[in-house]
Structure 1
Amino acid sequence: IYNDRVVPFNTLARDFVLKLTGKPSYGGMTPEQVIGGWLLRPEVWQNEPMIYIKNEALRHLLHLKTPYARLADLFDGEKYRLQKYWKEEQGHRQKMTSLEKAIVEADEKVGLILMLQNGTLIRPLPEDGSVEPISDTKIQAELLYNHIPFSKLLFMFNLTVGLLAFFRLLYRGLRRSSTSGSSGRITVFASFSHLTDVFFPVALYAAFLFQLFGYSLRWYIGGRIPLGNGYETMQFMALCALFLACLFRRRFPFMVPFGFLLSGFALLVSYLGQMNPQITPLMPVLVSPWLSMHVSLIMMSYALFAFMMLNGILALCLRRSVRMLMLLSRLLLYPAAFFLGAGIFLGAVWANVSWGRYWAWDPKEVWALITFMVYGVAFHARSLRIFRRPLFFHIYMIVAFLTVLMTYFGVNYILGGMHSYANA
């Protein structure tokens, strides 16, 4: 039993090794072999440098020459060294410093090893039959999911293909602009019709289906919609970006590189977040259908805002098509703002169900509202005439996306708040 569900032993072992080392394996051994070594020969494995210490200041305190510490390095005889450093660094500050966070993270890794040695990490199925074992089909599905690094493969593929498609798009567009003359009537859509050839559409559909397969596997394995943490929400955002690119690619061919790039960066973020998995149960407040609807709408809006930002960058590169691209961004602005507003509303309903209040002025709530208001200003082109200028509109869309980045990333890593756990 792991994370309140029955799982193959490979899942627990893989997360254990990934948590300690930042890698899915160690020394060419499988995760099961690593855990077996810790259980059978702890006196040997306590001298293995496999506890990853990212923070340079903590490495200096521990006198480490490499980023990897041994379990023995964290003890001075019977005395636990991290506890001493934690007491020295901890003051009356409400926010932890980077060194304190590194100490807590290292302490979690030590705690996992001690839980393994004490027999509390591995919880076998009870013999009284009170917990039903999972089916062979689900076991094979989870082993397949553990074996295939979906995020790693997809972010490398999507970013590579996306950059090739984007530079090809710019090259063709600039070349056409330089040869067509000022009297040319060729729009950006006709200029980039080459992107509807065989390779890029096929690659786009293949990436979408592969991403959908991995996401569906996670849904099937977990028995819930995968929207409970930052890793899963970035996976969903990448899926939304690929879906929108597939949906609009015939009408707007330049959406193909946008879809690749946006999904690639989202998957890169999720891949980096997976390097420090949480070996803890999902908080009960996160197991709610309101959460699924709330996060789904919010991430859909973020995907559309990101498309508008990339659209603005393209418009700055290809001035001849700036007005046509503005019309597309205005078209995307309506569903994007609607999804964000609906997501904020459903989030308030979820908060009332979970905590008994609709709004608490949490940093995440405040910045979501700021984002909604910033994009809402762009609707008032009739009273704010400056928004009728295509160049200003695109620059505004690019700058406005900073509020999205602040809402999703900045709040979690700078301001904190109640929403921080959702993206751990």
Structure 2
Amino acid sequence: MVLHLLAYGQIVLHLLYCMAKLKKIIIFVYILLVVVMGYATFYEKSHCIADAHDVIYGSQWFAVLWALLASTSIIYIVRVRMRRWYLLLLHFAFVVILCGAWLTKTFSYTGTMHLRQGKASNTFVITGSDKKQETRSLPFYVRLDTFKVINHEGTEAVADYQSHITLYADNDTVAAFVAMNKIKIYKGVRLYQSAYDSDQKGCTLAINSDSYGIAVTYVGYALLFVSLLWLLIAPNGTFRQSLKSPLIRKAFAVVGMLLVGAYGNAENLPHTFPKPLAEKFGRVYVNYNNRICPMQTLAIDFTKKLCGKATYKGYTAEQVLLGFVFWGNDWSNEPIIKIKNGELKTTLQLPNYCSANDFFKLGNTYRLASYVEELYQGNSDSFHKQAGEIDDRLQLILQLRQGKLLKVFPFRTVQGNIKWYAPTDKLPNSVDSLHSRYINELFSVINTDVLVDNYAHVEELVTGLRKFQVINGGASIPSLAQTRAERVYNSIPFTTILFVFNLTLGLLLLAWVVYCLSRKQQADKSEYEDNTMIKSQTQRGSRLVNRLSLIFMSLSFVCLTLLLVLRWKISGTIPLSNGYETMLVVAWFVQLLAIFTQHKAPIVVLFGFLLSGFFLLVSHIAQMDPAITHIMPVLNSPLLSLHVSVIMMSYALLSLTFVCGISAIVLYLAGINKQRRQQQSVPNSYSLQIAALQVLSHIFLYPALVTLSIGIFVGAIWANVSWGQYWSWDPKEVWALITLMVYAVVVHHRSLRPLNGAMCYHLFIVLAFLTVLMTYFGVNYILGGMHSYA
């Protein structure tokens, strides 16, 4: 009996040893993959995409690493006897996805087919990793009937590319068309719109055949989505248990404490239109940035680019714009161009504000000419970049004075399209003499009236111009609702108001929390009656402050929602197309989460105000373009909107885990400091508060991982629908995957025992947030790539 027990004990010890060794292998391979992918993004930056794919992403050893991680993880899961079905399903889903990737790599083929109008072909070209091209044949023929570039009405901004084709094999003939985000599947082959010839008589279609990989990969995605959602609703799961934890209220209660820590006078102003007339001129439509919009939008953008604000010395943006148009010499002497601090400013001894003429010496020699030329030749240091920025603003003034920006005259071409012309544009012969004269001479007539202050006649001419636009602009004219939305959007500086409002209230709330904590400490030291009275007063005040903070948060949320709705209405697409809009969406999600979770602990509103204020501030001061433009055709997909919005939600949640981690570290340091001062052990209350913050962080972490995973793989589905490739190893994609893998480590706390410790967990979370910063900001401003918003 004793021998049997000893033998059994030896087997158990051997298994435990193997388990420990296997765990180390998994950890090593996992870390190695993360490091290799991070290195690969910088390798791609210094070399090229093709080299990165050949050397790293497409190499055999990289695939072996993924296979080794999957196989060792399966063995480990079997050995530990994982019993929760949704966790098994979650890990199995990743294995299925990897199998789908292997099937795609092994059995699929991709290529390109060039077609000319009226001609049929069944051959396509595959380009190998060695750059060699191989010609293959499809099991059917493709004939290009017509190719069309569809523009947004009245502009040269492309709305879609469409190839109308005929497919036939044996006795089967099918008419179809391929466009952006609209693929055609025929006999197992997927056809995508890829490129077109300059004469628009030919096009290039991308060819993709993946009979096995797509089916298996989509099954993996489906299993993943089901298991991720169940992870949040499983009764015995960590997330649900964290919601029930009695430490939640304590976590919120301590967070607040832990977060402590012009122009000259108006004399000699230049001439311009009276404000009411300038406002009426601002309602005239103009083709600006390949979008038909009120001239008010052009005026605001023009004025902001010059002086950093939408007004100048009490003048509205419309008055500034019209001043440069009709009193160009006066305004060219006006010190309106804001000069940022830098080496160029010091070298040329420029004041804070310069006029356009300050950059021209006697004899009209351009002072920045040599610097701009050196910039174009590749000298892109900060000195030359600043010269280029100033040159851009001077060129903008020059284009306006030459009338090139004033594309206010719509006219239908012979081809039936509506094109908008500036008064100095060369008009086609199809424009009759009457309209040609009107377009060429209207601004000259207005200028004559301006010289004699005949503003009544100018107003009549502006009214006539608007009628001309309505008659000739047709479908290119924005709807009345879009115009009203844009004028409201232009009239209210939403972002500026909201970031000031949110940060101010966040700091006031922080001060209130600190005050309440100091009152609590005072009550603890007071006699019994004083103690009860102080606590009662504090509780009443807290209830009032909580109600008011929720009201103000809701008000801010409504205003931010209105801002996003206005941008959506103006552009016609969900506002997720650039860095500025995604920052607004992150702030929106932070506020939404704060409002929906405040009932458990009202102090979460403090998080909402500070974080949303920070994100709005970043969108306000960072190098992000708030201009509303038409979205690229390939980006016009509901899958993309879902992908970006879900990813932004995950970043908002991860930012809250970061705040919890920072709070815990500050609390820990405060406890150590108190221990040293009082020469006694750290009070249990500190450890309890740090543990409470860990529970709170879990509440944010699990939904963050779920939304990040869903966002990444919805993006993969969209990419496959758009151009037949799930994953292109773009730096943004890679760093999003790295972020997911890094944060996924902390939910394996049963296998990684040190992460059960509250401080170890918080330190890891704080460091992990660096991957979020790298994904959003580092890729945008350092690595670049097709996902870069910078």
Q: Which bracket does the TM-score occupy, shorter chain normalised?
A: 0.7 to 0.9
Contact 2:580 2:625 in 1 (8 A): no
Amino acid at match of 2:690: V
- Which of 29, 43, 47 matches 2:333? 47
State the partner residue of 1:166: 510
Query: What is the distance in 2 between the residues matched to 1:91 and 1:16?
Result: 27
In the alignment, which of 487, 490, 501 is matched to residue 157 of structure 1? Answer: 501
Match of 2:356 in 1: 71
Task: After TM superposition, give the deviation of residue 338 of structure 1 in Å.
Answer: 1.8
Partner of 1:403: 771
Cα separation, partners in 2 of 1:26 and 1:275, compared to 1, 3 Å: farther
- Counterparts of 1:274 and 1:305, CA distance in 2: 23
Letter in 1 for 2:771: T
Out of 572, 576, 589, which is 1:227 matched to?
Answer: 576
What is the CA–CA distance in structure 2 between the aligned matches of 1:58 and 1:260, rounded to whole Å?
38
CA distance in 1, matches of 2:321, 2:515: 53
Task: Check the 8 A contact 1:242/1:259 in 2, yes or no.
Answer: yes
Q: Is the 8 A contact 1:196 1:253 kept in 2?
A: no
In the TM superposition, what are the counterparts of 1:1-80 in structure 2 within 5 Å? 1-61=287-347, 63-76=348-361, 77-80=363-366
Deviation at 1:225, TM superposition (A): 1.0
TM-superposed CA distance for 1:337, in Å, is 1.2
Hey, what does 1:343 align to over in structure 2?
711
Q: How many residues align?
A: 411
Asked if the contact 2:503–2:613 (Cα under 8 Å) also holds between the matched residues in 1, the reply is yes
Aligned pairs (5 A) from 1:155-304: 155-173=499-517, 176=520, 194=543, 197-273=546-622, 282-304=631-653
Counterparts of 1:64 and 1:284, CA distance in 2: 46
- AA in 1 matched with 2:663: L
2:611 is aligned with what amino acid? L
Note the C-alpha offset of 1:277: 5.0
CA 1:174–1:405 in structure 2 vs 1: closer, same or farther (change >3 Å)?
Answer: farther
CA displacement at 1:138 relative to structure 2: 3.0
Q: Tell me by how many angstroms 1:387 deviates.
A: 1.0
CA distance in 2, matches of 1:375, 1:195: 38
* 1:116 and 2:419 are equivalent in the alignment: no
Aligned partners of 2:730 and 2:369: how far apart in 1?
A: 31
Q: Unmatched 5+ residue regions in structure 2?
A: 1-286, 412-471, 526-538, 668-685
Give, in angstroms, the shift of residue 380 of structure 1. Answer: 1.1
1:325 maps onto 2:609 in alignment: no
The C-alpha deviation readout for 1:45-72, integer Å capped at 9, x for no partner, is: 22222222325112234x2432323222
Describe the shift of the 1:159–1:68 C-alpha distance in structure 2 as closer, same or farther (beyond 3 A): same
Q: Distance in 2 between matches of 1:116 and 1:25?
A: 18
Contact 1:311 1:329 in 2 (8 A): yes
**Higher Cα Rg, which structure:** 2
Q: Is the 8 A contact 2:325 2:401 kept in 1?
A: yes
Structure 1 pair 125–375 and aligned structure 2 pair: CA distance change class (3 A): farther
Q: More deviation in 391-400 or 249-258?
A: 391-400
Cα deviation for residue 284 of structure 1 reads 4.4
* Counterpart residue type for residue 247 of structure 1: F
Which of residues 775, 780, 784 in structure 2 aligns to 1:412? 780
Measure how far apart 1:109 and its partner are: 1.6
- State the AA in 1 paired with 2:558: L
Question: Which residue in 2 is equivalent to 1:387?
Answer: 755
Deviation by residue 1:173-215 (Cα, 9 ceiling, x = unmatched): 465478669xxxxxxxx9x974873211111111111211222
SS state at 1:151 partner: helix
Check the 8 A contact 1:235/1:270 in 2, yes or no: yes
1 CA distance for matches of 2:549 and 2:632? 41
- Partner of 1:26, secondary structure, is coil
Aligned equivalents of 1:112 and 1:102: distance in 2?
A: 16
Q: 2:746 aligns with which of 378, 382, 390?
A: 378
Choose the corresponding residue for 1:363, options 731, 734, 748: 731
Deviation at 1:153, TM superposition (A): 1.1
CA shift, 1:398, in A, is 2.1
Distance 1:350 1:125 in 2: 39
- Deviations along 1:371-397, one digit per CA (max 9) or x if unpaired, are 222211111101111111112212222
| Contact map agreement 1:154 1:211 (CA 8 A) in 2 | yes
Does 1:107 find its partner at 2:397? Answer: no
CA distance in 1, matches of 2:630, 2:334: 28
- 1:12 and 1:274 mapped to 2: Cα distance? 19
Residues 107-135 of structure 1 deviation map (CA, whole Å, 9 limit, x = unaligned): 32223222212322122151434444234
Q: CA deviation at 1:413?
A: 2.6
Equivalents in 1 of 2:696, 2:602: separation in Å?
12
Q: Which amino acid aligns with 1:366?
A: V
One-letter amino acid matched to 1:269: V
1:416/1:30 CA distance change after superposition, 3 Å: same
**Distance in 2 (alpha carbons) for counterparts of 1:377 and 1:177:** 38
203-212 or 77-86: which moved more? 77-86
Question: How far apart are residue 244 of structure 1 and its match?
Answer: 0.4
SS of residue matched to 1:338: helix
Contact 2:579-2:624 at 8 Å conserved across structures? no
One-letter amino acid matched to 2:493: P
**Partners of 2:498 and 2:613 within 8 A in 1:** yes
Segment of structure 1 superposing worse, 228-237 or 337-346: 337-346
| Residues 12 and 90 of structure 1, relative CA distance in 2, 3 Å threshold | closer
1:138 matches 2:482 = yes
Residue 184 of structure 1 is matched in structure 2 by none
Deviation at residue 167 of structure 1 after TM alignment: 3.4
Task: Measure how far apart 1:259 and its partner are.
Answer: 0.4
CA contact (8 A) 1:241 1:263 kept: yes
The worse-fitting range, judged by mean Cα deviation, of 73-82 and 319-328 is 73-82
Give the structure with the larger strand fraction: 2
Q: Which residue of 1 aligns with 2:214?
A: none
Superimposed CA distance per residue, residues 207-252 of structure 1 (whole angstroms, 9 cap, x where no aligned partner): 1112112221221122111111121111111111111000000112
Tell me if structure 2 keeps the 8 A contact 1:193–1:253: no
CA–CA distance in structure 1, aligned partners of residues 722 and 367 of structure 2: 39
**Aligned residue in 1 for 2:4:** none
Q: Cα distance 1:267–1:353, how it changes in 2: closer, same or farther (>3 A)?
A: same
Which stretch shows the higher mean deviation, 240-249 or 133-142?
133-142
Q: Which amino acid aligns with 1:122?
A: L
Identity %: 48
Report the Cα distance in structure 1 between the residues aligned to 2:728 and 2:317, rounded to whole angstroms. 43
**Cα distance, 1:159 vs. partner?**
0.7
Distance 1:199 1:303 in 2: 24
Which SS does the other structure have where 1:24 is aligned?
A: coil
Deviation (angstroms), 1:360: 3.9
Q: 2 CA distance for matches of 1:124 and 1:177? A: 68
Cα deviation, 1:241-281, whole Å, max 9, x if unaligned, reads 11100000011222110000010001111122488655876
- CA distance in 1 between counterparts of 2:358 and 2:728 reads 44
Stretch of structure 1 that moved more, 224-233 or 64-73: 64-73
Distance verdict in 2 for CA 1:356–1:97, change over 3 Å: farther
Pick closer, same or farther for the CA change 1:250–1:312 going to 2, 3 Å. Answer: same
How many angstroms apart in 2 are the aligned matches of 1:57 and 1:279? 32
Structure with the greater relative contact order (CA < 8 A, sep ≥ 6): 1 or 2?
1
User: Which has the higher mean CA deviation after the structures are superposed, 27-36 or 399-408?
Assistant: 399-408
Instruction: Kindly state the Cα deviation for residue 7 of structure 1 after the two structures are TM-superposed.
Output: 1.5
Aligned to 2:183: none
Moved more, 19-28 or 41-50: 41-50
